[in-house]
Amino acid sequence: MRILAAMSGGVDSAVAAARAVEAGHEVVGVHLALSRAGGTLRTGSRGCCTIEDAMDARRVADKLGIPFYVWDFSERFHERVVDDFISEYKAGRTPNPCMRCNQYIKFAALLERGIELGYDAVCTGHYAKLVDGPQGRELHRASDAAKDQSYVLGVLTAEQLAHTYFPLGDTPSKDIVRAEAERRGFSVARKPDSYDICFIPDGDTRGWLADKLGAADGDVVDRSGAVVGTHKGAHAYTVGQRRGLQLGVPAADGKPRFVLEVKPVSNTVVVGPKEALATAEIVGERLSWAGRPQAEGTFDCEVQIRAHADPVAAVAVYAEGTMTVRPRHPFDGVATGQTAVLYEGTRVIGQFTIDRTVSAVPVEA
Nearest to 224 by CA among 270, 261, 277, 278: 270
**pLDDT of res. 214:** 81
126 versus 40: which is more confidently predicted?
A: 126
Domain-wise residue ranges, the chain: 2-183, 215-272, 277-359
Average pLDDT across the chain, whole number: 89
Interval 349-359 mean pLDDT:
94
289 versus 34: which is more confidently predicted?
A: 289
pLDDT digits (tens, 9 = 90+) for 220-274: 999 889 999 988 888 888 898 888 887 888 787 888 999 999 988 888 999 999 9
Residue 312, pLDDT > 70, answer yes
State the pLDDT confidence band at 364, using cuts at 50, 70 and 90.
low
Strands 331-332 and 278-284: antiparallel
pLDDT digits (tens, 9 = 90+) for 25-82: 999 999 998 876 544 444 444 456 678 889 999 999 999 999 999 999 989 999 999 9
**pLDDT of res. 216:** 85
Measure the CA–CA gap between 154 and 170, rounded to whole angstroms: 18
pLDDT digits (tens, 9 = 90+) for 161-199: 999 999 999 999 999 999 999 999 999 999 988 766 888
Alpha helices in the chain (DSSP H): 11-22, 51-64, 74-77, 83-90, 97-101, 110-116, 158-161, 174-183, 205-213
CA–CA distance from 35 to each of 41, 94, 196 (Å)? 10, 22, 15
Provide the annotated active-site residues: 101, 198
Interval 127-135 mean pLDDT:
91
Interval 80-102 mean pLDDT:
90
Residue 126, pLDDT > 80, answer yes
Superfamily of domain 2-183 in CATH is: HUPs (3.40.50.620)
Torsion of CA 177, 346, 295, 152, to 10 degrees: -40
**pLDDT of res. 352:** 96
Q: Which CATH code, of 3.30.9.90, 3.30.70.2500, 2.40.30.10, 3.40.50.300, is assigned to 277-359? A: 2.40.30.10
Q: Percent of the chain at pLDDT above 90? A: 60
Measure the CA–CA gap between 95 and 236, rounded to whole angstroms: 13
Measure the CA–CA gap between 315 and 303, rounded to whole angstroms: 9
Q: Can you name the CATH fold of 215-272?
A: SH3 type barrels. (2.30.30)
**pLDDT of res. 118:** 94
Amino acid in position 347? R
